[in-house]
Amino acid sequence: MSSRFFATGSDSESESSSESEEQTVVQAKSTVTAKVFAFSDDEEETKRVVRSAKDKRFEELQNVIKQLRNHKKIKDISKVLETFEDLTKALQKSQKVIEKEGGVPRFYIRALVELEDFINETWEDREGRKKLNKVNSKALTTMRQKLRKYNRDFEADIASYRENPDAGEEQEAAEDDRDRSDSESDDENEAPREKKKPAAPAEAADMKSQFLKGGDSEGSDDSDLDWPSDSDSESSDSSEPEGGYTNMAAKFLKKTTAAEEAAKAARKAEKKERKAREQRREEEERELEEGEWTEVQRGAPMAMEKPKMFAKGTEINHAVVLKKLNEILAARGKKGTDRSEQIMLLAELRRISEENNLGLGMTVKILFNIIASIFDYNPNIATCMKDEMWAKCITYITELMDILTDNENIFVGANVLEESEAIETEPFRVRGCILSVMERADEEFIKMLQACDAHSTEYVERLKDEKKIEVLVVRLQKYLEERGTSQEICRVYLRRIEHVYYKYDYEHYKSANLVRKTEEEKEEGGEKDGESEGKDGEVTPQEKGGEEAKDMVDGEKKEKTAVIMDKLCKYIYAKDTTDRIRTRAILCHIYHHALHGRWYEARDLMLMSHLQDTIQHSDVPTQILYNRTMVQLGLCAFRYGNIKDAHNALLDIQSGGRAKELLAQGLLMQRNVERDPEREKIEKRRQMPFHMHINLELLECVYLVSAMLLEIPYMAAHEFDARRRMISKSFHHQLRVSERQPLVGPPESMREHVVAASKAMKIGDWRACRDYIINEKMNGKVWDLFPEAEKVRELISRKIQEESLRTYLFTYSAIYDSLCLVTLSEMFELDGPVVHSIISKMIINEELAASWDEPTQTVVMHRSEPTRLQNLALQLSDKLANLVDNNERILEVKQGTSAFYTRQGEGRFGRQGKERHHQGKERQQGQSGYHQQQGRQYQGQRRDRGDRDRDHHQGYSRQQDRW
């Protein structure tokens, strides 16, 4: 097929051929258009509109904002995050248009403000955040951070929008109208400008082709036609002019003039003004009818009207109010019941009752139901009460206590039946238990403390409410002491005890210091001169100050805590019929004694109660209280200088590495262990509030120091004992970890300080040991947390000196023939009687083979102990004997000769063979002369002593029985 561009003919031929081809193309187009005309009623083509770059970009932004709002409505945070990222990308694409326009469009700023408000509301709604799934929760955090960072670039625009959010709405509406009119004018300009002459009626068949040819060639190529539907055609037929249309294009093209646009804008303005006038008139009518109205912000809840409890003209009496009360309570717990509305209805019913003077009985009954409704407001037992509900609850409980304490003619109790209630006449009898209400409020207070961040000001503010709880408990205690049963009194006493037992009495500490200072001043004054005794019948200022301080301790302070605890606990010991209340009271009493340094009282009460034998049968909260009590008992023993008792008391808590969990001070994250969600919720409800925690680092330090003071002398005494056991596994673990390190630097943590002190004590360097344990860093971390910190530091220093002396004697006794008492006292800076006492105890307990030479004040060592070489030989012989026995057993198993042991005189392993075998072992292990006899005697003594020590360290319970 040849192309016309490569034809060899003349120019005229090419022109004629091109004209013929154009005619064929036009004919083909006319046939296609004819088909379109034939089916125009069934098919409708879209109108092509030419828009500017600004319209395109802004429409893209508005579409993304519309998607963003849809996602916000359904709270799909992950989709909100994705759409926000798309929005930022769309804004970057529109950057050139925005620079031409002179700034970011106002609708974009409005979208950012709405999104920021939505994210903040979702973040502040804690209950809603807990219900979000994992994806939305993570997306919320990411979205919050990104939005904060992104909005920094639009701070000025956002601030101006927040100041006057409605300022740009009229401007935006005017811009929309202007854009719409511009687009319409563009449509008009696209219409054909040049029209052909009107066709004759005979040429009606060619109108369609004439319409296509009419107008400019560019317009006919670029524009499409918008054909009306049937209804539009009917309406257009009715609106045709009398002479009809001379051209089909005139019929279908839109005609608009400037006058029509002005009239249209005037009609819109008039309509808007008329609507504003109607709104103002309606507002004025409402103000005249119902008073003034207050404008609320968008999204704020509307003020609810007070519900109408009774119809007009209804006589308010007890029966009507009771009936209404039962109607309100009947909806309690049902699905769809508004709990806040129920509380409001009960409060309104109480107001109506008081206005009509229905008596205190009705008021008390309604108050009980209001408090119960407040407790039911939060159906989830795992979450705490809201702040506003908590404030209402405390207010209503206080009002109820005021009514009950001021009126003796009101009797309340859980045993009062509804049929026997007396609300109308005195004495009033109302069903309800004020003690149960108080216990539930106390539990809710603990849950609120558990839900707060322990290191925030919110926790401190919430903790201030404990004073209100204590005041209510004291008032309830006085009320029940007059009217309650013994069991109810025991329950309220236990509530009072649980609010007192863990608090240290600093007034007692100050008073004790005052007594000690006055006594020291008195002694110093007596040493200086003998005039301190005063004249006859006179009292010196020092004696007077000491008596005043003792009076303060014995009178004022004891009545606050010690005597109060003693009084409450003894009543429970005598009157309680349940084991749980008595057990918890005993543990709280022991805890309080130990906290204030009364070691012997706490120890005797623990031993007499025998709780260590039965505590495993108690409930979990009681077991947690037992663990806390044992820890406090161990700390008290440490402060008192009883290192062995302190170690035994803390052993069970610290040995497993689960002190945090056993004391209910947090949950341990275990590897490769999945927690059951329900069980985890239960464990979280058992956690102790932060202000009741025991410092775990202090606890571990006391345990390790106690283990060091026991373990290091024991290791020195049993250095060559093959059956040496460990007193503290955790302490040995810390030593092994330190030994594995290739390079040991200066200690930094608390554990490293204790390990370094242990190494110094091994070689008898007590000064280095003391410096590692007592220094500024350890004082700040541990020792300053004790009430009498200086006294504890002096005690630890003295114990380190004594145990270092014992370790020194165990390690180097084989080297010396005798040791001078004065030399030892100077070396360890101990008094002579103290050194004499320590060495005498070691001799009596057969730990040191020596004797005193009293005239010369020396310790004479006896050569009954084997030397180092002899000890190594004994160990080698034992190991060889064990090796031979193991080889013989293996041989028996292989050859099947185990039956020969039971025969007498047969084979190698008969009676005679066994005797010869054991004699040979004795010859291998024996030593000649004095050393053999003394070595066996010493080894037997060491084994007996090891058995005694093992029995001594079996556990705290056996030690308690020995007490």
Structure tokens at 810: 């165990």
Give me the pLDDT at residue 171, please.
Answer: 53
The band of 255, judged by pLDDT with boundaries at 50, 70 and 90, is: low
Name the DSSP letter for residue 422: B
pLDDT of residue 518: 67
pTM beyond 0.85: no
Query: Mean pLDDT, to the nearest integer, of 849-858?
Result: 88
* Residue, of 547 and 398, whose pLDDT is higher: 398
Residue 348 pLDDT > 50, yes or no?
yes
Q: 514 with 792: CB under 8 angstroms? A: no
Tell me the per-residue pLDDT of 117-127, one tens digit each, with 9 for 90 and over.
999 888 888 88
Residue 300 has pLDDT above 50, yes or no: no
Of 177 and 440, the structure prediction assigns the larger pLDDT to: 440
SS3 412: strand
What whole-number distance in Å separates Cα of residue 440 and Cα of residue 385? 12
Read off the tokens for 611. 């709780």
Residue in the structure block whose two tokens are 């010869």: 916
635-639-642 Cα angle (round to 5): 90
Residue 373 contacts by C-beta under 8 Å, 6 or more apart in sequence?
Answer: 332, 339, 342, 343, 346
Q: Would you put residue 19 in left (φ > 0), alpha (ψ -120 to 50) or beta?
A: alpha
Give the model's confidence band at 948: pLDDT under 50 very low, under 70 low, under 90 confident, else very high: very low
What is the number of other CB atoms lying within 10 angstroms of the CB of residue 856? 11
Output the pLDDT for position 797: 94
226 vs 269, residue with greater confidence: 269
Asked if pLDDT for residue 285 goes beyond 60, the answer is no
Burial 518-532 (b: 16+ CB within 10 A, else e): bbeebeebeeeeeeb
Is the pLDDT at 629 greater than 90? The verdict is: yes
For range 666-690, the mean pLDDT = 81
Name the region of 597 (left: φ>0; alpha: ψ -120 to 50; beta: rest).
Answer: left
Assess whether pLDDT exceeds 80 at residue 41: no
- Does pLDDT of 606 surpass 70? yes
Average pLDDT on 241-254 reads 50
Return the structure tokens found at 556.
Answer: 């004022």
Residue 785: CB partners within 8 Å, gap ≥ 6? 695, 698
Predicted confidence at residue 534, as pLDDT, reads: 38
pLDDT of residue 32: 41
A 10 A CB-CB count for 247 gives 18
Residue 779, pLDDT > 60, answer yes
Please give the Cα distance from 649 to 641 (Å, whole number).
Answer: 14
Length of the chain: 963
Domain positions in the chain are 53-164, 318-484, 561-694, 695-815
More confident residue, 399 or 315: 399
CA distance 514 to 548: 9
- Is residue 618 very low, low, confident or very high in pLDDT (cuts 50, 70, 90)? very high
Number of Cβ within a 10 Å radius of residue 328? 20
Burial class of 33 by CB neighbour count within 10 A (0 to 12, 13 to 18, 19+)? middle
Write down the pLDDT at residue 681.
Answer: 84
Report yes or no: 649 and 633 within 8 Å, Cβ to Cβ.
yes
| Tokens representing residue 530 in the block | 């003998």
Mean of pLDDT values over 864-887: 82
More confident residue, 778 or 923: 778
Q: How confident is the model at residue 623 (pLDDT cuts 50, 70, 90)?
A: very high
CA–CA dist 357, 321 (Å, integer): 12
674: Cβ contacts below 8 Å, ≥ 6 apart: none
Does residue 442 have a pLDDT over 70? Answer: yes
- Distance from C-alpha of 573 to C-alpha of 677, rounded to nearest angstrom: 39
Q: Which of 503, 375, 360, 346 is nearest to 439 (CA)?
A: 375
The 10 Å CB-count burial string (b at 16+, else e) for 804-827 is bbbbbbbbebeeeeebebeebbeb
Nearest to residue 498, comparing CAs of 646, 689, 694, 698? Answer: 689
DSSP 653-695: HHHTT-HHHHTTS-----TT-PPPHHHHHHHHHTPPPGGGPPP
Residue 494 pLDDT exceeds 90: yes
Report how far residue 850's alpha carbon sits from residue 854's, in angstroms, rounded to the nearest whole number.
13
Q: Please state, in angstroms and rounded to a whole number, the distance separating the CA atoms of residues 466 and 736.
A: 47
**Structure token digits, residue 658:** 């689960």
Residues 581 and 568: their CA atoms lie apart, in Å, by: 12
Rounded to whole angstroms, the Cα distance separating 643 from 703 reads 9
Higher pLDDT, 960 or 886: 886
Taking phi first (over 0 means left), then psi (-120 to 50 degrees means alpha), and beta for anything else, what does residue 743 get? Answer: beta
Residue 545 reports pLDDT greater than 50: no
- Quote the mean pLDDT of the chain: 76
- Alpha-carbon gap, residue 266 to 274, rounded angstroms: 12
HEC string for 509-569:
HHHHHHHHHHHHHHHHHHHHCHHHHCCCCCCCHHHHHHHHHHHHHHHHHHHHHHHHHHHHH
Average pLDDT over residues 322-339: 85
Provide the pLDDT for residue 726.
Answer: 82
Model confidence at 107: pLDDT above 50: yes
pLDDT band, very low/low/confident/very high, at 773 (cuts 50, 70, 90): very high
Lowest mean pLDDT among 571-580, 605-614, 829-838, 949-958: 949-958
Q: For residues 952 and 962, what is the distance between their CA atoms, to the nearest angstrom?
A: 9
Model confidence pLDDT, tens digit, residues 188-199: 444 444 433 444
Query: Residue 523's pLDDT is what?
Result: 58
Instruction: Tell me which of 37-41, 78-82, 727-731, 742-746 is least confident.
Output: 37-41
725-741: pLDDT as tens digits = 888 888 888 888 888 88
Q: Which of 165-179, 605-619, 820-834 has the lowest mean pLDDT?
A: 165-179
pLDDT of 504 > 70? The answer is: yes
What pLDDT is attached to residue 305?
Answer: 53
Kindly report which listed range (3-7, 418-422, 753-757) carries the lowest average pLDDT score.
Answer: 3-7
- How high is the pLDDT of residue 509? 62
pLDDT tens-digit profile of 635-669? 999 999 999 999 999 999 998 888 999 999 988 77
CB 105 within 8 A of CB 58: yes
Residue 655 has what pLDDT? Answer: 85
Report the percentage of the chain scoring pLDDT > 90. Answer: 29
- The band of 308, judged by pLDDT with boundaries at 50, 70 and 90, is low
Q: Which of 336-350, 527-541, 548-562, 590-604 has the lowest mean pLDDT?
A: 527-541
Q: What is the pLDDT of residue 699?
A: 94
C-alpha–C-alpha distance, residues 772 and 766, integer Å: 10
Q: How far is CA 810 from CA 56, 172, 416, 724, in A?
A: 94, 96, 75, 15
Q: How confident is the model at residue 149 (pLDDT cuts 50, 70, 90)?
A: confident
Better-scored residue on pLDDT, 440 or 311: 440
Q: With bands split at pLDDT 50, 70 and 90, how would you rate the model's confidence at 496?
A: very high
Q: How far apart are CA 112 and CA 717, in angstroms?
A: 77
**HEC profile of 729-775:** HHHHHHHHHHHHCCCCCCCCCHHHHHHHHHHHHHCCCHHHHHHHHCC
Mean pLDDT, rounded, for 578-595: 94
Q: How far is it, in rounded angstroms, from Cα 350 to Cα 305?
A: 17
Is a pLDDT exceeding 80 seen at residue 718?
Answer: yes
Amino acid residing at 156:
A
Residue whose C-alpha is closest to residue 701's, from 805, 758, 778, 599: 778
Distance CA 729, CA 723 (A): 15
Rounded Cα gap, residues 900 and 906, in angstroms: 7
| β-strands 850-853, 410-413 pairing | unpaired
- Using an 8 Å Cβ cutoff, are 561 and 592 in contact? yes
Residue type, 577: T
pLDDT class of 307 with cuts at 50, 70, 90: low
